[in-house]
Amino acid sequence: WPQVAVVGISNVGKSTLLNALMHGTAKVAEPHSNKKKFQSPIVAPTSTKAGRTRHLFRFDLADRLALVDLPGYGFTHAPRKAKSMEREMAVLIERYIMETPSLRRVMCLVDATQGVSPLDEQVFDLIISERRTLQIVLTKVDSTTPHQLHSAMAGAVNAALQFDAAHTWPYIHGVSALKGHGMDELRCSIASIAWDARVAAGLKP
């Protein structure tokens, strides 16, 4: 079934957003078993420490769609060992985007309190160069002032306009996984991928 990858700079709120998408709430108890966390993940592990996600976690949703949690990038305070690990994860992200035939969309999360960063722009370039569909989502909108949100949205729109419209999702979502703002609209936009895939295969949606 089709896959939607979720990627973003470290501490952008990726795991929180994934849990809100899948469970309707950002606060979900994590399994105690490490085996279950890796083999049959149902909860995206959250942490205040950058770089906790070091693997690809795939969440299968009712045999209709898979959400794939990619490692974060751009550690803010990274020692030498962490920098080496970050390079390895950058290769993992790049290979996944390049080599996954069922990948239908890459959801790039941007912290609305910070705006689009140069690292975000590099990831945008990679996605478009591989002719994948880029979807930009602003997170943490509940933590912004109106001026910050306007500036972040304008920056995201300007970034998206640099690319071929055929490979960019036409709507910039602004969400708060903790407060629920914009989550229903984002969930619907993702569900449309599963719908389209089943219709194309001649199956009932």
pLDDT tens per residue, range 80-102:
545 566 677 788 889 999 999 99
User: Which pLDDT score is estimated for 40?
Assistant: 46
Cα gap 51→87, rounded to integer Å: 12
CB 67 within 8 A of CB 59: yes
**pLDDT above 90 coverage of the chain, percent:** 60
Structure tokens belonging to residue 24: 């309707």
- Residues ≥6 apart with Cβ < 8 Å to 195: 205
User: Which pLDDT score is estimated for 72?
Assistant: 85
3-state SS, 159-199, equals HHCCCCHHHECCCCEECCCCCCCCHHHHHHHHHHHHHHHHH
72 or 110: which leads in pLDDT: 110
181 or 201: which leads in pLDDT: 181
Tens of pLDDT, residue by residue over 148-159, are 999 999 999 999
Please state the separation of Cα 70 from the chain's center in Å. 7
What average pLDDT does this structure show over 166-172?
94
Residue 138 pLDDT level (bands cut at 50, 70, 90): very high
User: Which pLDDT score is estimated for 130?
Assistant: 94
What average pLDDT does this structure show over 168-174?
94
State pTM to two decimals: 0.84
Cα gap 203→72, rounded to integer Å: 35
82 or 146: which leads in pLDDT: 146
SS3 state at 124: helix
Q: For residue 39, is pLDDT > 90?
A: no
CB 96 within 8 A of CB 68: yes
136 or 31: which leads in pLDDT: 136
Query: What values do phi and psi take at 172, rounded to 5?
Result: -90, 115
What average pLDDT does this structure show over 40-48?
51
Neighbours of 81 (CB within 10 A): 8
Residue 109 pLDDT level (bands cut at 50, 70, 90): very high
Pick from 83, 87, 71, 70: which is nearest to 5 by CA? 70
Q: For residue 45, is pLDDT > 80?
A: no
| Mean residue pLDDT across the chain | 84
User: Which pLDDT score is estimated for 33?
Assistant: 47
